[in-house]
Structure 1
Amino acid sequence: MRPDPAPSIAAARGLRFVPGDRPDRLAKAAASGADPVVIDLGDAVAPADEAAARAHATTWLADGHAAVVRINAAGTAWSESDLATAVEHGGP
């Protein structure tokens, strides 16, 4: 079972935001002691890279890593897919 990141958000000492299209940075952020790692699917990702960012987030979360997923704003072309990704892996 994946750890629940919610308790660590309330007492977070240092969030690490990682653009979803940069999966090479996820392990480094997790190893830094961040509590929690935030996979940013929002404005940190270029429109052309949105689908790849969601795929990277899905892989990271499916591998059992805990993270918070920051999604695009409601009403954008990507918000519904972002939300589905987060929910699939234990989101809101």
Structure 2
Amino acid sequence: NTEIEERISKFFYKAGTIEQEVTIYNDYSVEHGLMNYSKKGNYDILAIPTRGRKPMLHFLLGSRSIGEDVANHANLPVLTFKI
């Protein structure tokens, strides 16, 4: 974890935000990690950014949105917002 912690520190330093809380949570997949992390933290809602594909691209390329996958399987509300 030392390498990733250094990379995170460098990123926030370059972004001008030196003090930032970051939690590293490893799980089988991103979706499982988000759901297990939310259970552990006893959170009421998950907020996840998404690209917001247009319907035709969504049909052709399928769902690759983590937010959509989590929303379909989570036991708590999921707020997705387009970035």
Q: State the TM bucket, normalised to the shorter chain.
A: 0.3 to 0.5
The answer to which structure has the higher helix fraction is 2
The structure having more radius of gyration, on CA atoms, is 2
TM-score, scaled to structure 1: 0.33
